Amino acid sequence: MGAVFAVALLLPLAYVAGADLPEGAQAARKEAVALADIVLRALQNNLDISVSRQTRDSRLTDIVFEQAKFDPTLSLNGQYNRSITPLNRPLFGLTGSDLTKIQKFDQNSGSVTADLTQNLLTGANYDLNYSPSRTFVAGPQTFLFNPGWQSGLALTLTQPLLRNFGTDINRTFIKVAQNNAKVEEHVFFDRVLTVIATVEQTFWELVFVNENLKVAQAALKAAEELLAANKAKAKAGVMAIVDVLQAEAAVASRVEQVLIAEKAIRDQEDQLRRLLNPSEEELRQDVRLVPVDQPVKTLEPISLQEAIDVAMERRPEILQANRNIETSDLNVKFAKNQLLPNLSFQGTSGLSGLGRDASDMFTKGASGDFYNYGAGLVLSIPLGNRSAISQYNKRQIEVRNAQASLQSVRQQVIVAVREAVRRVQTDFKRIETTRSARIMAEKQLQAERERLNVGLSTTRFVLDFQRDLATAQGNELRSVVDYNKSLSNLARNKGTTLERYHIELQ
């Protein structure tokens, strides 16, 4: 695409301003623009595409958010406690068998707890807990270990067996987020196609108004030549003054048409520049855009059925509707699973250790001499379960709506493609008919000029034929431009616009 633009800049400027341009117009900067370059600049700078791109990127964060629900969580807790309490009875290991006065029970302890939890894609969740602690009791040293080091390692696992069981169910919201991201990509793709089609339509309109100015200038020149000839004849006494007045009125009318054509060019240039999202400073500058692409005038082979098949595969609206159906199916499957009772397996196991120091505690704990385990089932049945039932019914309705929407979109696409194909064929036929009409108008004008020269016609008839020729030239030009716009519209309806510019969206 860069090479195309580089070549375009080297082409000679084709536009020639009219003689009666406003003051300062001759100093306006001219910029040759190729359609491919304008399309690329629009894709890079257009505000609608920027917003759609950011919306698409925000959907990608939703996927990470859903995946993060299965990330492990590590928590650490450290504590130190000391308590001094009065004793009202003997305490083994600290006092004798009888108490003669209030004794103090002085105990201080420190502990660290490390807890690791995680939800698994099977629906299970586990909790791995390790909690070493140190305890010291002041007083007679009648404990086995004082200070004593104690550790506990416990693993608890809970696995649903009915509701929320299985990787498919627990990946539902991840898949939904992925589908939503894909839907947003299709929305972004649709926005890109719309922007490109708008740029193409605006570009060809700019081509039309530029060429239409040439038609208006040619009509003005022809009227001025006729006026000069009539003045010479009137001065020679072979023509009435009324013919001169008619020619002067025609020249004034043609000047007005030139001014209107020049304004139309400026208006269309601003419309095209607006699509490129220029800065305010750039928009204030007086820049004349000179289109270098010539409109296509040959009929491209078109197969209606092939065009419909391509549209069915590539139109972003159909791809988006298919994704919506997939999302609805996932939601129905999840809602159906929520109708089941909640039956869960719970299992726990652990190791304990006690030692005189940290090393001895680890050794005793790892020996496996002190352990515990257990298992059980927990059943929970919601009576009535109206919430889950209503949600399931709602999801089924959403599926039917999504399927109906897909069918409606497919029908709209078929009708739109058929209309776009007909428009291309009709506009090409218009080129042939308007070309014939323009040729006939040229011949009629030439014949009427010859009749005028020999005194068999009048100025009024010649001016009428000049006007008819200008109208025929404008109609031919309009048909050519409309044909190119129709080709753009057909590509938009088929979803193949990007292929025309060899652009791939990443």
Q: Is residue 393 part of a domain?
A: no
Residues 18 and 136 in one domain: no
Q: Is residue 333 part of a domain?
A: no
Radius of gyration of the chain from its Cα atoms, rounded to whole angstroms: 43
SS3 of 11-31: CCCCCCCCCCCCCCHHHCEEE
CATH of the domain at 57: 1.20.1600.10
Residues 409 and 357 in one domain: no
Burial (0-12, 13-18, 19+ Cβ within 10 Å), 191: buried
Q: Is residue 20 part of a domain?
A: yes
Residues 292 and 421 in one domain: yes
Q: Take residue 96 and report the two structure tokens written for it.
A: 């004798």
Residues 158 and 40 in one domain: no
Q: Is residue 504 part of a domain?
A: no
- Could you give the angle at which helices 241-275 and 35-45 cross, rounded to 10 degrees? 40
Residues 317 and 417 in one domain: yes
Residues 132 and 186 in one domain: no
Q: Is residue 48 part of a domain?
A: yes
Q: Which of 193, 135, 162, 81 is nearest to 336 (CA)?
A: 162
Beta pairing, strands 287-291 & 29-33 = parallel
Residues 178 and 151 in one domain: no
Q: Is residue 506 part of a domain?
A: no
Residues 312 and 418 in one domain: yes
Q: State residue 358 phi and psi, 5-degree precision.
A: -65, -40
Residues 158 and 260 in one domain: no
Domain count, the chain: 2
Q: Is residue 386 part of a domain?
A: no
Residues 298 and 189 in one domain: yes
Q: How many residues does the chain have?
A: 506
Going along 267-417, which residue ranges are E strands?
287-291, 342-355, 371-380
Per-residue pLDDT of the chain (506 residues; tens, 9 = 90+): 333 333 232 222 233 334 444 444 445 788 899 999 999 988 888 777 888 888 888 888 999 999 999 999 999 999 999 998 887 666 666 666 666 778 777 889 999 999 999 999 999 999 999 999 999 888 766 678 888 899 999 999 999 999 999 999 999 999 999 999 999 999 989 999 999 999 999 999 999 999 999 999 999 999 999 899 889 988 888 888 998 999 999 999 999 999 999 999 999 999 999 888 887 888 888 889 999 999 999 887 889 999 999 999 999 999 999 999 999 999 999 999 999 999 999 999 999 999 888 898 999 889 888 999 999 999 999 898 999 999 999 999 999 999 999 999 999 999 999 999 999 999 999 999 999 999 999 999 999 989 888 888 888 899 999 999 999 999 999 999 999 999 999 999 999 999 888 888 76
Q: Is residue 47 part of a domain?
A: yes
Residue 113 and residue 131 in contact, taking contact as beta carbons nearer than 8 Å: yes
CA distances to 187, 241, 318, 401 from 408, rounded to whole Å, are 17, 68, 10, 10
Residue-number span of the structural domain to which 257 is assigned:
2-63+174-327+398-499
Residues 136 and 273 in one domain: no
Residues 308 and 434 in one domain: yes
